[in-house]
């Protein structure tokens, strides 16, 4: 999903935003209301059973790589409405430009 589509889809679906960065990275700031689930620390694998598979999820990280991996993981576990938004800088820049 392109960053330009992110905010529109988020508003339309009332989805959940997941920041896949480490706790230290999240401490520097996240998308408003985002849930930090550290992909590198294995938190996504532990959290998958607590997530609603019918919900829409929008994932991002620093560069888009970890969120892409987490998106593939969730889809492999039966989640259908999962979107890799990419890099946090891109979505923040796009939101400020809109």
pLDDT of residue 96: 65
pLDDT of 18 above 90: yes
- Domain range enclosing 20: 3-97
The per-residue DSSP string of the chain comes to --HHHHHHHHHHHT-EEEE-S-HHHHHT--STTPEE--TTTTHHHHHGGGS-TTS-EEEEESSSHHHHHHHHHHHHTT--SEEEEEEHHHHHHHHHH-
Q: What is the pLDDT confidence band of residue 6, given thresholds at 50, 70 and 90?
A: confident
pLDDT digits (tens, 9 = 90+) for 63-92: 999 999 999 999 999 999 999 999 998 887
Q: What is the pLDDT confidence band of residue 94, given thresholds at 50, 70 and 90?
A: confident
pLDDT of residue 7: 84
What is the domain-level CATH number for residue 48?
3.40.250.10
pLDDT of 98 above 70: no
User: How many structural domains does the chain have?
Assistant: 1
């Amino acid at each position: 999903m392109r960053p330009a589509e992110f905010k529109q889809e988020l508003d339309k679906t009332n989805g959940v935003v997941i920041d896949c960065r480490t706790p230290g990275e999240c401490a520097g700031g996240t998308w408003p209301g985002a849930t930090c689930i550290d992909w590198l620390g294995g938190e996504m694998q532990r959290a998958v059973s607590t997530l609603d598979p019918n919900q829409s999820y929008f994932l991002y990280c620093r560069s888009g790589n970890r969120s892409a991996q987490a998106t593939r993981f969730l889809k492999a576990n039966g989640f259908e409405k999962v979107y890799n938004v990419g890099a946090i800088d891109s979505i923040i820049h796009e939101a400020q430009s809109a």
